[in-house]
Structure formats: C-alpha cells, structure tokens
Structure 1
C-alpha cells in the first residue's frame, strides 16, 4: 500500500502582498511549493504527490515539478477550488486504489522537516485514522465576545491543553473520503469551509490524534514570515 500527499498550492496569498500566487513566491531562488514538495519527497514516506494549482497555472506547476531533480517521486497537478477544502477534495479525487494513507500539506509551510512527515505517516499506519502535528501553545489565550468598541473576556482556557496545529495532516484514505463527502456542502464558501481536514473528521465524531510538531513547519502568511524562513534556511545550510 502507498502514501499520497496532497500539496495545496491554489491560494492567492493576498496577505503576502505579491502579484502572484503565494505558492510561486520564491524563497532562496525556488518557489515555496517546490521547497514543500522536495521535503515531502525527501521523507521517504511519500510515494506520490498531487499538487492543487491556482486557476490557469496547472501547466506552470507541472513543468516546475517535472524539471526538479530533488522531487524524485511521481507528481500530478490538478486545478484547485475556490476554498482550501474544495482544493483538497479535488486532489483526493485523484487518489489511486493503492493509496491507503493520504497526507494533506500546505505549500505555505515550505520548510517542514522530512522527519515530521515520517512521524505523521507512522502514526497513521500504527492505527490512528486521523493524525495532526501540533505544538504546545506558549501564549496565554483569552476567549472573548464583542462588547461595544472593545471585546469582553469570557474565559481563559488552560493552555496546557491547547495545541497549535500544523501540516502535513495524515489520514486513512477511507476516513478522509468519508469526511469530505459528508462535509461537501461547506466547500464552496470561504466562511463555511473547513480550515483544516481534521475539522471535517471531528465533525464525523471520529477521533483525531496529535503528534509532536516542529517549529520549522511554520506557515508563510506575511512578508515577515518569508524573511524568517530565509533566516532558517541560511542557518540550516551554513
């Protein structure tokens, strides 16, 4: 049996303030999506990748992957959807019968360590149907509600019980297919769509397990994040 990684790269990345999709923004001379694909391949735990591309850029993404010697596993590219959930569903539709484990990873997390990918796949193959990497929350978190021109604090969750989740998230393929089928009506609208696939599994009432994440798997959202990623790469290649 094999592991498929769906690499979501269809987002616009408007908060990054560039005139091209976030996945194609370069970090040390290579697009973010290529950094992410290389690390998935380097894990040795992924057998093939499906990339979800921005509208009209399937050919560009396909050429990018095909021309890179560090992505040494089969890669297919498909059109993404209007939301992340819809994009993952499009990638999942290309899963083969032998793909019993599916990872979902964001191109916006380009520096994910291969060891983290291995950890997630291993946990799924050990019998956990849904596995998410996460880090302990270090800041105090407040629960609030609107109250005039400010917000009223309504509670302070115990942060020892909180985790900031990352990707790749890993699933038994049958469970992920069922979760997307059940939640399909949410996929078309951004305000309804699931922000991660674990949320769709949770909506089924199925358990989701956490494995230790990694600080290097942070998400590129702003220009500052891109600058930080550049520093991390400089340190790791020095």
Structure 2
C-alpha cells in the first residue's frame, strides 16, 4: 500500500502583501511550495504527490515541481478550488486505490522536517485513522465574546490540554474520503469551510490523535514570518 501527499498551494496569501500567490513567493531563492514538496519527497514515506495550484497557474506549478530533480516521486498538479477544503477534495479525488494513507500539507509550511512527516505517517500506519502534529501552547489563552470594541473575556482554557496544530495531517484514505463527502456542503464558502481536515473527521465523531509537532513547521502568513523562515533556513544550511 502507498501514501499520497496532497500539497495545498492554491491560496492567494493576501496577508503576505505580495502580488503573486503565497506558494510562489520565494524563500532562499526557491518558491515556498518547492521547499515543501522537496521535504515531503525526501521523507521516504511519500509515494506520490498531488499539488493544488492557484487558478490559471497549473502549467507554472507543474514546471516548478514536476521538473525538479529533488522531488523524486510522481507529481500531479491540479487547479485548486475556491476554499482550502475544496482544494483538498479535488486532490483527494486523484488518489489511487493503492493509496491507503493520505497526507495533507500546506505549502505555507515550507520548512517541515522530514522526521515530522515520518512521525505522522507512522502513527497512521500504527492504526490511528486521523493524526495531526501539534505543539504545546505556552501563552495563556482567553476565550472572548467577539465584538467591535473591547471584547469580554468569558473563559480561560487550561493551556496544558491545548495544542497548536500543524501540518502535514495524516489520514486513513477511506476515513478522509468519508469526512469530505459528509462535509462537502461546507467547502463552497470560506466562512463555512473547515480550517483543517481533522475538523471534518471530528465532525463525524471519529477520534483524532496528536503527535509531537516541530517548531520548524511554522506557517508563513506575514512578512515577519518570511523573514524568520529565512533565518531558520540559514541555520539549517
């Protein structure tokens, strides 16, 4: 049996303030999506890769990833959907019957260590149908009542039981397909769509397990994050 990785790269990345999709923004001279693709392929536990491309850029993304000598697994590129959830569903539709494990990873997390990819896949193959990497929350977190002015605090969750979730998230393929089929109506609009695939599995009432994450797998959202990634990349060289 085999593992398929879906690399989501269709987002606009508007908060990064660039005139091109976030996945194509360069880090150390390479697009973010290429960093992520190389690390997934280098893990040794990914057998094939599907990349969801920004609208109209399938050929550009294919030229970057499929032709890269460091991505030594079969690659298919498909145009993504209106939301991340929709994009993952499109990629999932390209899974083969042999793909019993599916990883979903964000191109916005370009520096994911190969050890983390392996840890997630190992946990799924050990019998856990849905696995996410997570880090302990170190800040005190407040639950608030949203509003236009100063927001009212309504609770303080115990941080020892909180985890900041990362990607790649790993799943038994049939479970992930069932979760996407059941939650398909949410994929049409950003305010309805699941923020991660584990949330769709949770909505089924199925268990989701957390394995240890890694600080290097942080998400690039702002220009500050990109500068931090440059420093991390230099340290890894």
Same-fold call, TM > 0.5? yes
Taking structure 2 as the reference length, what is the TM-score of the superposition?
A: 0.99
Return the alpha-carbon distance in structure 2 between the equivalents of residues 179 and 148 of structure 1: 35
Instruction: Say whether 1:5 aligns with 2:26.
Output: no
Residues 51-75 of structure 1, C-alpha deviations (whole Å, 9 max, x = no match):
0001000111111112211100000
SS of the residue corresponding to residue 187 of structure 1 reads helix
Residue segments in structure 2 that go unaligned for 5+ positions in a row: none
Instruction: Say whether 1:20 aligns with 2:20.
Output: yes
Change (3 A) 1:58 1:146: closer
Return the alpha-carbon distance in structure 1 between the equivalents of residues 62 and 113 of structure 2: 23
Task: Give 1:216's aligned residue.
Answer: 216
Task: Give 1:67's aligned residue.
Answer: 67
User: Would you say the 8 A contact 2:105–2:169 is kept in 1?
Assistant: yes
Return the alpha-carbon distance in structure 2 between the equivalents of residues 44 and 32 of structure 1: 20
Output the aligned Cα RMSD: 0.7
User: Would you say the 8 A contact 2:80–2:90 is kept in 1?
Assistant: yes
Residue segments in structure 1 that go unaligned for 5+ positions in a row: none
Give 1:146 deviation, angstroms.
3.7
Return the alpha-carbon distance in structure 2 between the equivalents of residues 131 and 148 of structure 1: 36
Residues 155-207 of structure 1, C-alpha deviations (whole Å, 9 max, x = no match):
10000000000000000000000000000000010000000000000000000
Task: Give 1:44's aligned residue.
Answer: 44
Return the alpha-carbon distance in structure 2 between the equivalents of residues 127 and 147 of structure 1: 43
Instruction: Say whether 1:134 aligns with 2:120.
Output: no
Task: Give 1:96's aligned residue.
Answer: 96
Return the alpha-carbon distance in structure 2 between the equivalents of residues 141 and 84 of structure 1: 26
Give 1:149 deviation, angstroms.
2.3
Residues 94-150 of structure 1, C-alpha deviations (whole Å, 9 max, x = no match):
000000000000000000000000000000000000000000000000011146721
Taking structure 1 as the reference length, what is the TM-score of the superposition?
A: 0.98
Return the alpha-carbon distance in structure 2 between the equivalents of residues 213 and 155 of structure 1: 26
Task: Give 2:56's aligned residue.
Answer: 56
Task: Give 1:169's aligned residue.
Answer: 169
